[in-house]
Chains A and B, each alone.
Chain A
Amino acid sequence: MGNAKFSGPSLKALLEKAGVKDTGKHVQFRGLDILTGHVPPFVRSIPIEKAADGDTLIATHMNGAALTPHHGFPARAVTPGWVGAASCKWLTEITVLGKPAEGNFMSPGYRMPNTPVKPGDPAKPEDTHSLAALTVNSTIAAPSDGAKIRPTTKSGAHVIQGAAWAGEADIIKVEISTDGGDSWKSAKLGEDHAKYAWRLWSYAWKPAKSGDYVILSRATDSQGRVQPDAAVWNPSGYLNNACDHVKVYVQA
């Protein structure tokens, strides 16, 4: 995964120029990617409030350079803090609708149960909602899973590090466990801090002895959400934000 800076006209400015009627409630994106077989078109829409919040972009640039084909050249939607499916690449058409777009990828696809359900049968459509903002999550970038690491040196500690993000919310805390989740200590959050962006974190670890360790990371956000031990089940596994973990061996 990565973290990039996108730029281009805001969708708000574009919508103002086009003129949106009071009946406009959703904004639908269509792109050039075409699915194989008889799969229905991958077309989704976002609520007008999100589309016109000033942060949702029709991006033409990423990190200051024109978009590459892989990233959606020449223009793509960037619906920050939301699931990737809301950021349509290779845009060809933006349509203002009076209600959410129809089609498989709005319903019954790409939806979450409103309340957790037991594995087995999907929730009834009326008890689900369309995927929108991301939840709180984090990942461990180092050490690598399966790494053999040397004991603490004279220079200090091992650095456990990674990134955390929370969609439209802010990361306020990242905790690290080096004993498989029995105990937790706060990591140091990085200084770089921007809305929608990931927050880097690090933790100085001084393992007391050699052996196997399971390291976990657990983020908390400004909405009070905390990563769970196990993901909330849903048929397609969306928004899996279970605590990340790596196993390492500290050599004698």
Chain B
Amino acid sequence: MFKRSVIRLALTALCFAVAVAVAASASAQQSPNESLPASPSLAGSAAPIKGIASAACLACHEARIIVQQRLGKAAWTKELDKMIKWGADVDPKDRDALIDYFSSNFGPDQPAYVAPRSARAPRGALRPAIR
């Protein structure tokens, strides 16, 4: 047992307003700005697995968090099972195919991830120091 000394801030009356605002900002953050890459190793009948992965993962995560991981099969298995336990919407019959998809496309042999440059600096974001 920890010895605890707790300071509670008087926030109860504000909870409703804040909770609404949090939900609004969370949904804005859930829009992925990238999609998962096409999967040359899973062409033909297995190709729909990319769509299944997108539906399962991109509701909460940006694609880049998956693309840059470069995990081995054991680590991807652990990661997927954790996400299923936490509530990822995955049909049990798709689990093994998803593990294959992740480990064959986003494994340790992939080149190092390079963050994409997507955002343009707003005009006047930084004032010039040289005039």
Contact = CB atoms under 8 A, between A and B. Distances in A.
A92 B86 contact: no
Contacts of A188: 129-130
Given A21-B3, A246-B117, A37 B130 contact: no
Interface string A215-252: 00000000000000011010111001010011000000
A93 B60 contact: no
B19 interface: yes
A69 interface: yes
B126 to A, nearest CB: 5
Most buried by A among B74, B85, B112: B112
A90 B129 CA distance: 36
B43 interface: no
Contacts of B68: 237
B49 to A, nearest CB: 22
Interface in B16-49: 17-19, 21-22, 25-26
Nearest to A19: B5
A236 B19 contact: no
B8 A92 contact: yes
Contact of A231 (B15, B71, B112): B112
A32 B5 contact: no
Interface residues of A, number: 61
A36 B23 CA distance: 11
B106 to A, nearest CB: 10
A70 B129 contact: no
A202 B7 contact: no
B70 interface: yes
A204 B130 CA distance: 7
A38 interface: yes
A33 B86 CA distance: 16
A32 B26 CA distance: 12
Contact of A235 (B8, B75, B112): B75
Given A90-B18, A120-B70, A141-B121, 20 more contacts: A32-B11, A40-B86, A70-B25, A74-B18, A93-B7, A95-B4, A95-B7, A96-B3, A97-B2, A119-B71, A120-B72, A120-B107, A121-B71, A142-B126, A161-B129, A162-B126, A202-B128, A202-B130, A231-B113, A233-B112
14 contacts: A32-B18, A37-B87, A38-B85, A39-B87, A69-B17, A70-B21, A93-B6, A93-B8, A95-B7, A96-B5, A142-B126, A144-B120, A163-B126, A235-B69
